């Protein structure tokens, strides 16, 4: 195989979870250079020949008209990593820096693709504003501007940049001006593999240059944080557990807990316990254990509610005590407090989280929960929707959609409640809670047959969980909200003894 053909095959296999576009391929294989469609097709056909496929059968590589190509073959990954090299660093690798124990990123100077030299200042300023915006995220290790700008006017290989600066992710971008408009293109790349994690293009009228820089910097930073989070979880899953540090084990736990099953919850609990053993001072292990405790009770565990809440609250409080400046820990603590019906405390903790990290999705999510369960449903739904927009890849997305459904239901917006519950079910069919709210909403709408089917599903998936929420009012439901839920379930066909 020619090296470029091999690189294209590897790129398609590594990105088999999605359709890759022409721009994705050009960015990764040709370094962003423009090549003809015939050249691209020639390389793609060569890849197909190597793996015994062709454009007609498309057994392994499928062309999606108007979108790109998708590797659809089954892949078995084998960890062939040998023992770590603990000897001295010598030769050309002497300048390599170790990767930090949390996601790390460098924003390279943006390239000015315009003929207008005045846009050079705009390109530099945009990169600087993005660096500043990313520094507001406590979970990110961000290389300072002075170090990242040493690569200005250099054709920098991302793998080399990653090694030299000790970062896992590299953000590249370019600026192009045309008449009275400007286009900024950005790409987030995993340095070691060269895999493109995220890309976006921003077209704006060229008006107030500083306002424009601020707007683009905020949009990029908001998009990058969840993209890195999703990439970190996938990276943790690909590695052998024996090769994971505390951060990697924490990400692996988050991945399992987002699968909403008894077995995965147990695996997540083991992961978070290992985190506390690997690094007793890392608050993430305690946050994760608090989440496991809550979710386990909500899905399959049998301990008393008061016992569960006391255990989870102690874990969340421990996380806050370890690092009072950690926005995530305050957000998790808010989660426990609204479940204890301490709505004021939950609001205060969520607001503290958002003071520390204004675009923290979990902070907005728990702010929304505290608002909904205290009766401020409209504000709560808005906060939850913002959380989903900020982090659409969050493992807990089905839970957030379920809470949106619940908020709409309490507000009497049954069509919207049913739609949100169906989205949650689509995201995780075996997650039992949204089936109950779908049944109640459809019951209120008079769609009896559909409501009865949803009710049967809710009971069949987790009968003990259904009984737990319906036979008795949980603490975070106000009496009127509990009665409202039971009313909808009765209309769906539930017979309450």
The top-scoring range by mean pLDDT among 218-222, 266-270, 344-348, 395-399 is 344-348
pTM of the model: 0.62
Rounded to whole angstroms, how far apart are CA atoms 66 and 337?
48
pLDDT at 56: 80
pLDDT-derived band at 240, boundaries 50, 70, 90: low
The top-scoring range by mean pLDDT among 67-81, 228-242, 348-362, 434-448 is 434-448
Residue with tokens 């294989």: 29
Question: Which helix or strand (DSSP H or E) is residue 182 part of?
Answer: strand 181-190
Task: Work out the number of other CB atoms within 10 angstroms of the CB of residue 497.
Answer: 3
pLDDT at 301: 65
31 phi-psi bin (left φ>0, alpha ψ -120 to 50, beta other):
left
Task: Please determine, for residue 430, whether its predicted confidence score (pLDDT) is greater than 50.
Answer: yes
DSSP assignments along 74-111, one per residue: -------------S---GGGTT--PPPSS-EEEEPPPE
Instruction: Take residue 82 and report the two structure tokens written for it.
Output: 């040998």
Task: Please determine, for residue 359, whether its predicted confidence score (pLDDT) is greater than 90.
Answer: no
Rounded to whole angstroms, how far apart are CA atoms 103 and 116?
36
pLDDT-derived band at 32, boundaries 50, 70, 90: low
Q: What is the DSSP letter of 21?
A: P
CA 236 to centroid of chain Cα atoms: 14
Task: Work out the number of other CB atoms within 10 angstroms of the CB of residue 232.
Answer: 23
Task: Please determine, for residue 486, whether its predicted confidence score (pLDDT) is greater than 80.
Answer: yes
Bridge partners, 185 (sequence order): 174, 201
Architecture in CATH of 400-497: Alpha Horseshoe (1.25)
Burial zone of 90 (CB within 10 Å; 0-12 exposed, 13-18 middle, 19+ buried)? exposed
pLDDT at 78: 67
DSSP assignments along 394-449, one per residue: -TTHHHHHHHHHHHHHHTT-HHHHHHHHHHHHHH-TT-SHHHHHHHHHHHHHT-HH
Q: What is the DSSP letter of 60?
A: S
Q: What is the dihedral of CA 381, 384, 385, 388, to 10 degrees?
A: -160
CATH 3.40.50.10610 in the chain, residues?
95-238
- Region 170-176: mean pLDDT is 90
Rounded to whole angstroms, how far apart are CA atoms 424 and 408?
14
Rounded to whole angstroms, how far apart are CA atoms 421 and 403?
9
Q: What is Dmax (Cα atoms) for the chain?
A: 78
pLDDT at 400: 93
pLDDT at 96: 66
Task: Please determine, for residue 92, whether its predicted confidence score (pLDDT) is greater than 60.
Answer: no
pLDDT at 318: 93
- Region 428-437: mean pLDDT is 92
- Region 382-404: mean pLDDT is 88
The top-scoring range by mean pLDDT among 36-50, 268-282, 443-457 is 443-457
- Region 209-219: mean pLDDT is 81
* All residues at 6 or more sequence positions from 337 whose CB lies less than 8 Å from its CB, including other chains: 313, 343, 345, 346, 349, 370
pLDDT at 365: 94
Task: Please determine, for residue 82, whether its predicted confidence score (pLDDT) is greater than 80.
Answer: no
Rounded to whole angstroms, how far apart are CA atoms 141 and 153?
24
pLDDT at 170: 93
Rounded to whole angstroms, how far apart are CA atoms 126 and 415?
43
Task: Please determine, for residue 85, whether its predicted confidence score (pLDDT) is greater than 50.
Answer: no
CATH 1.25.40.10 in the chain, residues?
400-497
β-pairing, 141-142 vs 104-107, is: parallel
pLDDT at 300: 66
Rounded to whole angstroms, how far apart are CA atoms 415 and 402?
14
Angle between helices 37-50 and 22-29 (to 10 degrees): 80
Cβ(353)–Cβ(369) under 8 Å? no
Long-range contacts of 410-414 (CB under 8 A, 24+ apart): 410/372, 410/377, 410/481, 410/484, 411/377, 411/378, 411/381, 414/441, 414/442, 414/444, 414/445, 414/488
Q: What is the DSSP letter of 241?
A: G
pLDDT at 89: 30
- 3-state DSSP assignment of residue 66: coil
More confident residue, 354 or 258: 354
Bridge partners, 62 (sequence order): 70
Task: Work out the number of other CB atoms within 10 angstroms of the CB of residue 450.
Answer: 16
pLDDT-derived band at 383, boundaries 50, 70, 90: very high
Task: Please determine, for residue 385, whether its predicted confidence score (pLDDT) is greater than 90.
Answer: yes
Which of 72-76, 101-105, 112-116 has the least mean pLDDT?
112-116
pLDDT at 485: 97
pLDDT at 251: 84
Q: What spatial distance separates the first Cα and last Cα of the chain, rounded to whole Å?
A: 71
CA 51 to centroid of chain Cα atoms: 33
Architecture in CATH of 3-71: Orthogonal Bundle (1.10)
- Region 291-307: mean pLDDT is 80
Which of 220-234, 254-268, 308-322 has the least mean pLDDT?
220-234
Percent of the chain residues topping a pLDDT of 90: 35
Looking at every residue in the chain, the average pLDDT score rounds to 85
CATH 1.10.10.10 in the chain, residues?
3-71
* Count of all residues that appear for the chain in the document: 497
Q: Which CATH class is domain 95-238?
A: alpha beta
Task: Please determine, for residue 271, whether its predicted confidence score (pLDDT) is greater than 60.
Answer: yes
pLDDT-derived band at 79, boundaries 50, 70, 90: low
- Region 52-58: mean pLDDT is 84
Query: 3-state DSSP helix/strand/coil percent for the chain, to nearest 5?
Result: 60, 10, 30
SS3 sequence, 341-354? CCHHHHHHHHHHHH
pLDDT at 497: 62
């Amino acid at each position: 195989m020619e090296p470029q053909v091999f690189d294209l095959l590897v790129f398609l296999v590594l990105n088999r979870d999605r359709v890759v576009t022409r721009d994705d391929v050009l960015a990764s294989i040709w370094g962003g250079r423009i090549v003809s469609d015939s050249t691209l097709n020639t390389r793609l056909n060569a890849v197909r020949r190597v793996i015994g496929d062709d454009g007609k059968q498309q057994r392994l590589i499928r062309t999606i008209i108007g979108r790109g190509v998708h590797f659809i073959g089954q892949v078995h990954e084998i960890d062939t990593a040998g023992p770590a090299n603990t000897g001295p660093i010598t030769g050309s690798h002497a300048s390599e820096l170790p990767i930090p124990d949390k996601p790390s990123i460098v924003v390279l100077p943006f390239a000015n693709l315009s003929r207008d030299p005045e846009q050079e200042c705009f390109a530099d300023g945009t990169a600087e504003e993005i660096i500043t915006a990313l520094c507001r995220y406590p979970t990110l290790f961000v290389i300072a501007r002075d170090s990242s700008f040493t690569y200005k006017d250099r054709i920098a290989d991302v793998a080399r940049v990653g090694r030299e600066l000790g970062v896992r992710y590299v953000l590249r971008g370019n600026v192009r001006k045309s008449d009275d408009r400007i286009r900024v293109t950005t790409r987030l790349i995993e340095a070691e593999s060269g895999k493109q994690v995220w890309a976006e293009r921003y077209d704006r009228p060229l008006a107030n240059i500083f306002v424009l820089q601020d707007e683009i910097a905020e949009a990029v930073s908001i998009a990058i944080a969840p993209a890195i989070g999703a990439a970190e979880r996938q990276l943790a899953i690909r590695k052998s557990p024996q090769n994971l540090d505390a951060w990697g084990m924490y990400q692996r736990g988050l991945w399992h807990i987002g699968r909403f099953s008894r077995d995965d919850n147990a695996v997540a609990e083991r992961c978070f316990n290992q985190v506390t053993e690997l690094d007793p001072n890392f608050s993430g292990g305690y946050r994760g254990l608090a989440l496991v405790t809550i979710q386990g009770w909500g899905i399959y565990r049998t301990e008393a509610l008061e016992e569960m809440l006391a255990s989870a609250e102690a874990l969340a409080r421990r996380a806050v005590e370890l690092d009072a400046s950690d926005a995530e820990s305050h957000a998790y603590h808010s989660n426990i407090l609204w479940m204890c019906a301490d709505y004021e405390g939950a609001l205060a903790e969520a607001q503290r989280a958002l003071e520390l990290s204004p675009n923290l999705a979990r902070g907005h999510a728990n702010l929304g929960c505290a608002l909904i369960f205290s009766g401020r449903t409209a504000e709560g739904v808005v906060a939850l929707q913002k959380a989903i927009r900020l982090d659409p890849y969050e493992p807990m997305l089905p839970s957030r959609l379920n809470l949106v459904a619940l908020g709409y239901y309490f507000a009497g917006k049954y069509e919207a409640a049913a739609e949100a519950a169906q989205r949650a079910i689509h995201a995780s069919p075996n997650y039992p809670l949204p089936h109950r709210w779908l049944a109640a909403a459809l019951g209120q709408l008079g769609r009896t047959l559909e409501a009865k089917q949803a009710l049967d599903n809710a009971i069949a998936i987790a009968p003990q969980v259904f009984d737990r929420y319906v036979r008795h009012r949980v603490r975070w439901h106000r009496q009127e909200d509990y009665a409202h839920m039971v009313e909808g379930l009765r209309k769906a066909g539930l017979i309450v003894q």
